[in-house]
Structures are given as structure tokens and as C-alpha cells.
Structure 1
Amino acid sequence: MTDLSAFGPDFPFAYDDWIAHPAGLGAIPARQHGARVAVIGAGAAGIIAGHELMKLGLDPVLYESGKFGGRLRSETFEGTENVIAELGGMRFPVSSRGFYHYVDLTGSESAPFPNPLTAAAGSTVIDLEGETLFARSLDDLPELYREVARAYDAALEEGARFSDLQAAMRARNPSRVKEIWDRLVSQWDERTFYDFVTSSEAFRKLSFRHREVFGQVGFGTGGWDSDFPNSMLEILRVNLCGLDDNQRYIVGGVEQVLHRLWQLETDCAHWGRRSLAALNGGATRSRVVRIGRDAEGRIAVTDCWGRTDSYDAVLVTCQSHLLTTAIDTDESLFDQKLWMALDRTRYMQAAKTFVMVDRPFWNDIDPATGRPLLSMTLTDRITRGTYFFDNGPDKPGVICLSYSWMTDALKVLPHDAEKRVELALSALSHIYPDVDIASHIRGNPICVSWETDANFLGAFKGALPGHYRYNHRMYGHFMQDALPPEQKGIFIAGDSVSWTPAWVEGAVQTALNAVWGIAHQFGGTTAPDNPGPGDLYPTYGPIPLD
């Protein structure tokens, strides 16, 4: 495990240490044991928060509108038991130390993800503007690609004191992290990723072609041009926390981590040894249609079948836009400035197209070239990124024919699964003209466009310039002592509330923030030698802008 983790930089708190400490996350008064808390959403944030609230002796009641797992969605190909397509999160950096706490807790296994130019991929093909290059490492590519890599490293040093800041994060020195990062917030919040690249001394010395290659191929997982309009702070966090490096996938599908945590029996205050599933009668409740106050001032939650229950605390982990489109939410529950932040959250589009094939035929060696028939592929064509998943010789394999974002994802939005496969195969035929991929396909393809899912309305947050203030309001909402009474008791969590959207670690961290906030509301305290996020937030919390 690397010593680099998502330790800040906005709020440098060691969540992984907090949840692993033998003292636990704290305790609530015995008179509050058994108090019910509504948790809306059975994704990563909801299940993790529910698990930890249960351990404290509270009674988390889970609601889910769609599919258990949220965007940790593993779809099994028809007729198989463990041949899966990862429709949501599929690659998990080892720096996601909070998430891997639960991976280990549930006995789930991981393996290196076949990202470009990694040993797990074996080989990589880059196809830009009709030119196709084969490589096993960066050294196999033309000098231009190494110039791009060096330029971005230089830009990070020049514009963000990258080495100094990352060293402070590795050392878990919160004061030093804040000293460096807080100066960068006002400098880069209102400037885009593209501005950062083009204004850097390193890239100004290079050509447009270098910037174009950077956008199409990028670093780590591939092209980043779809993020060019985003606030540079968003990208800096990804780089600093090592989220785009050293990634792994969960063997058998990441969704099983949440299913196992749901079923995991653990020692709890008040409940004895219990699982979240047992506490919920084996199933979540249905879709929430209304959140408001009852006559006694408690928060009333109504599901789609008309059942209303009241709670002293409610945790909302769904995408923020659902609070105005799918759930009739009493406006008085949130301050209007927080409503502005929730409504202005900008979600990015994403699409994936998977097929199952008879075997990992891409490993066959072409006798004419001595190379594998197919390689992990980055291209400017409609597929953008193509990945291969080997389940063993002579066993069905999986090809992610296309993983694309924003405009590239919208290109396939109107099309059904078969048409998407046809478009992908057509694009790949220009790169691999002698390989008949279609002849190996078995069963039905599996596709997703997250923006068309009524329960998501987009894949993940992508903060625009100027959105730091909005993010600050959402992330810090778990600190509720100063709120008026009508706004207390409802909490928000999920990766779109976090500083690191699109990464499960953000869901983990905001879930744990909410656990502290809810426990605090019920009179709970943390152990003196294991302070929680709310205990240290006044000292190390994000810097406010004007």
C-alpha cells in the first residue's frame, strides 16, 4: 500500500486512520440507542454510513430508488455467474485508503487494472489522426509523447508546488498541506484545466500538437480533454491524491463489496452482533418521493407507496439534482445558498459499451507482427478507450469496446446497444483491419449512459470555474451547530458532495463526515485519542473565499 492517500488537500483529515482505530468512531448516549435514521440511497455512501451508524447503536433505515449499489454497478452477462461489466466505478487507486478499508473488511480481492502503458494491459495502441502506434511503455512512443509527459510534470511544479504539497500529504502534515494548498485555491478556482496547461511555461514552449496529444492521450488513464473546461482545482486534487495512478479493479465486480458489507455481521453497541441487512429486514425500502417536516418538527420521509415515517436524522446520498426533480423536498430544510450549490452542481456525461467474447483471443500473437492481435486502445475515434478483461484461458472474456465522456458520450446517446456495438466495431476496424472481433462476441451487449438514468441524471460531478464556494457549502454541511433548527437533522453525502467527484473515496469520506454529524446530533462523542472529522474541522477545514 502506498503512503500516498486522499489526505486532503482541502480538509487534510486521515479518514482511514479514524475508521481503523481500535477506539472506534465514538459513542452515543444509551438513551439514544435504537433511534432510527433514514439513509436515502444504497450506494457506497449510503451503505458505508449505514454500517457505521449501526455500529454506534443507531437504527439506519435504507431507501433505494433503483439498483442496490448505486454507481458501483456490476452487471453480469446473461447465462454466466461471474462474467461482469463494470458500468460505474471500475478502477480504484490504492491511494483510496478509506475505500480499501471496506474492501479488506469484506474479504474482497483486487487486481491491477489494465490501464494504458501498464504491465496489466500488456500492450497499448494509440491511434490519433489515422496514425497507429504500438507500445508497451512510454519509452516505446515517439519523443513527442515524452515531451508532453515532462511538460505536464513541469507545469504542476510551476503552477502548484506539486512535489512540496504531495510530500506534505504523504507525511500527513495537515498544517503544511493547508499552508501550500490554501494559497492555490483562490489562484486556480476560477481558471480552467485548459488554462493551466496553455499558460504554463512548459507548454508554451511546445506546439498545439503537444496540447492536442495531451488532451487525447493525457496521463494515467487516458485522454483528459473532456475535463478541459473544469476548474483546475478539480484536476489538481486527482493528481495530488494519486487517484489517476496505480489503480486496481475488484475481482468479481465492485458491487459485491457493498453487498458483502450489507450482509456483514459485526459487533455493535445496543444491537450486539448484527448486519445491516438483518436490521432492515433483508431489503431496502422503496423510492423516496417526499422529504419534509411533520407536525412535531421531525423529518418525514414518504416512499413511492405512500408510507411516511418520521426521523430525527436523515442522510441523503443521491445525486443532488434529484432533490428538485424526483423528490418533493421542503425548501426550508436547506438554506437558499445551499440550494444554489445543490442545483448548480454540474454532472458530466459518460457512456460505456461492453461485450462478452468466447475467450481472450486478443492475446493471440499475430505471426506477421509478433504482437498481440488487440491491445488496450486509446484513440480519437468514437470509442476513445477500449479495455480488455481476461478471465483465464478458454473462458469468456470481456471487452469494454468504448468508454467515453461528454460530447463523445452524447454521440451514442440515441442509439440502442446493438447500434453502439456496430459503431465501436466500425471504428476499431480502422485500427485492426485484419481482426474479426464480431465473430467472437457472445450473448447480448451491456451498455450504459448515466445521463438517461432518472436516478442519476449524469455520471459524476465536474466542477466548473467558480464552483469552489458551492462545493465548500455542500461538503461542510455536516457541521450543523450554527444552523437554524429548521435546517438541522438532514445531512448530505456522496462523491458529488466531496472534493473528489467520480472517485469512490469521495463517497467514503462524505459518508464518514455524515456519520460524525449524525452522532454529534444525538449527543455522541469521539474518543480523545481518535478525534473525528467534525472535531478537527474548525482547525483544518477548507479555506473560505469571499
Structure 2
Amino acid sequence: MDGKHHTPMSRRDLLALIGTVAGSAAMYHAMTSLGFAAESTYNGPIKLNGDPNGASVLILGAGLAGMTAALELRNAGYKVKVLEFNSRPGGRNWTLRGGDTFTELGGNSQTCEFAPGLYINPGPWRIPYHHRGVLDYCRRLNVALEPFIQLNHNALLHASNGFGGKPQRIREIQADFHGHVSELLAKVTQQGALDAAVSKQDKEILLAALRSWGALDSSYAYKSSLIAAGHRGFDKAPGGGRGAAPIAGTPIELSDILQSRLWRYLQSFAQFDFQTTLFQPVGGMDAIGKAFARELGDLIHYNARVTRIQQGSDGVTVTYADTDAQAAVHQEKADWCICTIPLSILSEIEIDVGAPMQAAIEAVPYIASVKIGLQFKRRFWEEDEAIYGGISYTDLPIGQIGYPSMDFNRSGRGVLLGAYLYGLPSAYEFTALTPQERIADAVEFGSRIHPQYRTEFETGVAVAWNRMPFTLGCAGYWTEAARAQHYDNLCQIDGRIVLAGEHVSYMPAWQEGAILSALDAVTRLHQRVMKS
């Protein structure tokens, strides 16, 4: 030891270091090993063997967790009933189309005025290839899927104080950043600074790899050339006939990229959750919720607001009120209860559970998120800028602009995801605005990236999840300390009640987390029933 005092590196610092040096994919897997995140553990349809002898289960919530539980329990011979707050299935699995209406807390109502065939997914909008549970249920329920485009190299990166506020193409920033870093590393390698770590043979291979990966010239320099243009694009693309020779553009200086901080958005495409291939249901994400609901039929009772959950030694009694004008109060009884109500709502409901589970219910806040859909007279992002799908990123309060991954190269109106704010300070700021103000701000900020907004915008719809009365937030937000203290207690079967949902998973905010949680709850509940 050198005798100096060393401050121990926290796991948070370690993850940040891994993310900086090795990229987000490596950081995700490090999070998995530390217990912060996990890949889907779905191994195929569950098997609930044995006769439940007429046991009944009341399921609270017809989101994907609740409907997954209902489907599997019904198939295993249980008597099942589902109570759902909304007049539709799916919960946060939701799609807005022309004619749809909804009212948020505070009384502001919106009617979506999108043209026929256009829609926005205010909740989940993509399915990673490794979310095998969601994909399997889509297959079993005949939900057609199509590709969701996460990375479009021709989409934009925008920094308010970088490049005079002019958006830059992702391909240019990515290629130039890789090129400059490759040149620096090649120089270090040539100068022998890596001799202690790299053998002579590996050094030669490394230089060849850097030259290829970074589009370097024969002297290992990254500069304007047709080699570099093959990665970042051309000032004048190759053509046909006379004057068809391409002209290479001038790479952006490394210092300009570093100062603009646009490099930070490149990690979004490397994250395990967002690596290709991703999918979306044809026609809207709610195709999944509707498919579950068709299978379950009248087992779902809609417009039911749960007000109390009681349990005794022989069963569970749930009190609920109709959400229509009559607001009649009813009670439903069953032997067991699976509750998928978001903790943000459940913490306000009287429920008979032990102190450990009650503390866990109250320990998890819900993160703020806002999505804004904007309809335009034409698909100018395709016609004017050759952007077909993908996402543009900005440091403006709107965060992201998402381009539709369907109906490419068609004339007529189109809808953009004009803002996606997740856990950002601006998400809370936008939530405090009226829907009309949110839409107006999204148009104003978006016009700094796409000037066409000003003349092409027609109508919009804005969903602030903290104001949605059935969730009061987007998703459960677990801290490391909260997981250590409360997560296991939240997972326990408390008497005759067990919880499920994305909040009872290590995949919060993902539909896969909701499904895996439901399958785990159903399996453990069935084992309890078989023993009793």
C-alpha cells in the first residue's frame, strides 16, 4: 500500500465509470450483477398443475399484469373476476386516436382530433427483442407486430448552445466522434504508450481495427476524405451521369463535439433495452390490451374504483364504486386477491395488510412523465429531411422527438411524438401547465429543430402521467435503499393478498416487468392454494 487514504468507490460511482468507459450496454449488465436491473427471465408459458377445486381470485386492475394473471388463472380452473377503474382495458397500455376523450386531475379534458388512422401511444411505445414474455403473449393472442425504429442515423441531435443552435445529423456526430477518438488512440498505440498492455501482434490488429472503425486514412488521421464520407455522409452524394463524382464533407472538430455534449446522446442506442430489433403492435400499442380483453370477455368489470380492500382468514372483500354518474357502491368477495393497482393509488386506499407490506406500498414514489402527440398537414420530416422513423434528441425541455415507424413515404397528414419527458425537471414543469400550454410549448421548442412546425402544425394531445387519475405517475421509482428495505416485503403473499405490476419487478416502466411480476405472483399463489 502507498499509505494514502483512498475513499471507497460507491456502486453508483462504479456504474458511472463503467458507463463512461465501456458504454451503456456494459453498464446495464453491471447493474444486473449488482441487483439493480435484470434481463427478462421469461422461459415460456407457466404450468399451474393441480385442481384448485373452485377457488376464486379477485384481480384488481386490467392492465397487462392483471390480465396476464386473469388469463393464466382462468385457464388453470380458477373462478376469476377483474375490477378495472377505466372504461377500457390495458391501463398504461394505451393508444389515443381521433375521437378519444379523457380528463386529467384538475378537470382539464382533452379530445384527440387526429385524422383517421393516426395515433399516439402515451404509455409504452416499443418492445425490445429480449422481452420474451410480451412477445410470447403477442404471438399467442395473434397481435401483429412491426419494427420500431430506435436508431435512425439521419435523425438529429440538437444542443441549444452548440453549432449555433443548428441540429446535427446523428451519423455525422457519431462518425466524427468515433473518428477523432480512433485517431487519438492510434497515436497513443503508435507511440508505444500501450506496450505494457498490448502485445506487438495485438498492437497491429488494434491499429487495423481503429483504422476501419474510425474511418482513418493510411496515416491514421481522421480528416475529410471519401473514406470518412462513407461513414458520416457526403456534401455531394454519388450520382449518375456527368458531374456524378461525390464530394466528401468536412468533419466536425472533436472540441466542438465535446463542448456541445451531443456525444452523450449516442449512448441511448447502445443501451441493452434499446438495441435492435425493437417492435410495436400494428395499429397501436393498445392492440395488446385489447387482445387480452377479447380473451377474457366479461370477466372484466369496467368503471370500478376500488375504495377498500379487506381480508380475513377465509377470504377477501373489496369495496368499489361505479365511476359513472350514479356512483353506486358495491362489494366483491373472493378466496384470494391479486392487486395490480399502482402503488401511487394503492397507498391512498385502506387495505388490510401487515406493517411490512404497508410500509413498502408507501415507500415507492412514481416518476413524472409527459408525452405530447402533434399532428401535421404533411410528413415533412420524410419529404423535406429524409427522416424515416427513429428519434431526435435535444437539450430543450421537450427531450425527444419521435418519428412514426409506419406508413412510410405516404402523402397526407402525419403524427409525431413531439415531446417525451421522463423523470426530467421539465416533466414536472410541463405537468403544471394546461394541456393547451403543453402543446403550444412543444410546438415552439420543436420549431427550433424543425422550422416546418410553424406552418404545418394542426392539432395535438398531451398526456401528463402525474395527472392521470388511474396512476398518478408513470412508473414506480425504486432507489437502491428502498429496494433493500422494502422490495421483498412487497413481493410477499400477505394473508390472502399478493401484489403484481411493473412496480413489483426489476424492470420498472416496462410491460415485460408487469407480465413477469404477474406470472411470479400467480405461480406462488397457486402453490399456496394447492397446499391449503
- TM-score (ref. length: structure 1): 0.67
**What residue in structure 2 maps to residue 82 of structure 1?**
117
**What residue in structure 2 maps to residue 461 of structure 1?**
476
Secondary structure of 2:49 counterpart: coil
Secondary structure of 2:392 counterpart: strand
- 1:136-185 deviations in Å (ceiling 9; x for gaps): 5376453279869x99xxxxxxxxxxxxxxxxxxxxxxxxxxxxxxxxxx
Give the drift of 1:338. Answer: 2.5
Equivalent of residue 65 in structure 1, options 85, 105, 117: 85
**What residue in structure 2 maps to residue 27 of structure 1?**
49
Q: Contact 1:471 / 1:499 at 8 angstroms: preserved in 2?
A: no
Give the drift of 1:258. Answer: 1.5
Q: After the TM superposition, which residues 233-252 of structure 1 pair with which residues of structure 2 at under 5 Å, given as runs?
A: 242-246=272-276, 247-252=278-283
One-letter amino acid of the structure 1 residue matched with residue 407 of structure 2? N
**Residues in 1 aligned to 2:526 and 2:32: alpha-carbon distance in whole angstroms:** 23
Equivalent of residue 388 in structure 1, options 378, 385, 403: 403
Give the drift of 1:117. Answer: 3.7
Q: Contact 2:500 / 2:517 at 8 angstroms: preserved in 1?
A: yes
**What residue in structure 2 maps to residue 307 of structure 1?**
330
The question of 1:288 aligning with 2:306 is answered yes
Equivalent of residue 320 in structure 1, options 337, 343, 365: 343
Secondary structure of 2:471 counterpart: coil
Give the drift of 1:496. Answer: 0.9
One-letter amino acid of the structure 2 residue matched with residue 382 of structure 1? P
**Residues in 1 aligned to 2:346 and 2:132: alpha-carbon distance in whole angstroms:** 30
Classify 1:214/1:372 alpha carbon distance in 2 versus 1 (closer, same or farther; 3 Å): closer
Classify 1:463/1:73 alpha carbon distance in 2 versus 1 (closer, same or farther; 3 Å): same
Give the drift of 1:87. Answer: 0.5
Give the drift of 1:221. Answer: 5.5
**Residues in 2 aligned to 1:279 and 1:308: alpha-carbon distance in whole angstroms:** 16
Q: Contact 1:112 / 1:249 at 8 angstroms: preserved in 2?
A: yes
- TM-score (ref. length: structure 2): 0.68
- 1:254-290 deviations in Å (ceiling 9; x for gaps): 11112112213xxxxxxxxxxx11444xx43611110
- 1:341-368 deviations in Å (ceiling 9; x for gaps): 22111321100111122332211236xx
The question of 1:343 aligning with 2:362 is answered yes
Classify 1:213/1:470 alpha carbon distance in 2 versus 1 (closer, same or farther; 3 Å): farther
**What residue in structure 1 maps to residue 324 of structure 2?**
none
The question of 1:53 aligning with 2:68 is answered no
Give the drift of 1:36. Answer: 2.0
**Residues in 2 aligned to 1:212 and 1:492: alpha-carbon distance in whole angstroms:** 45
Larger Rg: 2
Give the drift of 1:324. Answer: 2.4
**What residue in structure 1 maps to residue 176 of structure 2?**
142
**What residue in structure 1 maps to residue 518 of structure 2?**
511
**Residues in 2 aligned to 1:349 and 1:13: alpha-carbon distance in whole angstroms:** 24
Classify 1:138/1:43 alpha carbon distance in 2 versus 1 (closer, same or farther; 3 Å): farther
Equivalent of residue 268 in structure 2, options 220, 224, 240: 220
Q: Contact 1:359 / 1:396 at 8 angstroms: preserved in 2?
A: yes
**What residue in structure 2 maps to residue 187 of structure 1?**
none
Equivalent of residue 427 in structure 2, options 409, 429, 432: 409
Classify 1:139/1:214 alpha carbon distance in 2 versus 1 (closer, same or farther; 3 Å): closer
Classify 1:95/1:474 alpha carbon distance in 2 versus 1 (closer, same or farther; 3 Å): farther
- 1:509-529 deviations in Å (ceiling 9; x for gaps): 10001110221122179xxxx
The percent identity for this pair of structures is 19
Secondary structure of 2:268 counterpart: coil
Q: Contact 1:471 / 1:497 at 8 angstroms: preserved in 2?
A: no
**Residues in 1 aligned to 2:180 and 2:479: alpha-carbon distance in whole angstroms:** 29
**Residues in 2 aligned to 1:258 and 1:322: alpha-carbon distance in whole angstroms:** 21
**Residues in 2 aligned to 1:299 and 1:498: alpha-carbon distance in whole angstroms:** 24
Secondary structure of 1:73 counterpart: coil
Equivalent of residue 352 in structure 1, options 350, 371, 388: 371
Q: Contact 1:289 / 1:328 at 8 angstroms: preserved in 2?
A: yes
**Residues in 1 aligned to 2:261 and 2:71: alpha-carbon distance in whole angstroms:** 44
- 1:410-435 deviations in Å (ceiling 9; x for gaps): 12122223322221222223233xx3
Give the drift of 1:448. Answer: 0.8
Give the drift of 1:56. Answer: 0.4
Classify 1:252/1:147 alpha carbon distance in 2 versus 1 (closer, same or farther; 3 Å): farther
Q: Contact 1:38 / 1:314 at 8 angstroms: preserved in 2?
A: yes
One-letter amino acid of the structure 1 residue matched with residue 147 of structure 2? P
- 1:74-123 deviations in Å (ceiling 9; x for gaps): 111236453211000111111100110011112222233232445xxx53
**Residues in 2 aligned to 1:8 and 1:89: alpha-carbon distance in whole angstroms:** 22
Q: Contact 1:77 / 1:356 at 8 angstroms: preserved in 2?
A: no
Classify 1:215/1:507 alpha carbon distance in 2 versus 1 (closer, same or farther; 3 Å): farther
Q: Contact 1:358 / 1:396 at 8 angstroms: preserved in 2?
A: yes
**Residues in 2 aligned to 1:141 and 1:350: alpha-carbon distance in whole angstroms:** 32
**Residues in 1 aligned to 2:181 and 2:372: alpha-carbon distance in whole angstroms:** 32
Equivalent of residue 427 in structure 1, options 438, 445, 455: 445
Q: Contact 1:124 / 1:375 at 8 angstroms: preserved in 2?
A: no
Classify 1:419/1:109 alpha carbon distance in 2 versus 1 (closer, same or farther; 3 Å): same
- 1:385-424 deviations in Å (ceiling 9; x for gaps): 0111153402432111111123111121222233222212
**Residues in 2 aligned to 1:212 and 1:125: alpha-carbon distance in whole angstroms:** 10
Give the drift of 1:301. Answer: 0.6
Secondary structure of 1:142 counterpart: helix
**Residues in 2 aligned to 1:374 and 1:309: alpha-carbon distance in whole angstroms:** 47
The question of 1:127 aligning with 2:159 is answered yes
Q: After the TM superposition, which residues 80-229 of structure 1 pair with which residues of structure 2 at under 5 Å, given as runs?
A: 80-117=115-152, 122-131=154-163, 132-137=166-171, 140-143=174-177, 213=261, 217=265, 219-220=267-268
Relative contact order, CA 8 A, sep 6+: which one is greater?
1
Give the drift of 1:215. Answer: 9.1
**Residues in 1 aligned to 2:66 and 2:259: alpha-carbon distance in whole angstroms:** 40
- 1:6-57 deviations in Å (ceiling 9; x for gaps): x9765989753241xxxx512232xx34432111111110111111111101
Q: Contact 2:359 / 2:486 at 8 angstroms: preserved in 1?
A: no
Structure 1, gaps ≥5 residues long: 152-205, 223-238, 265-275, 481-486, 526-546
**Residues in 1 aligned to 2:266 and 2:139: alpha-carbon distance in whole angstroms:** 31
Secondary structure of 1:499 counterpart: coil
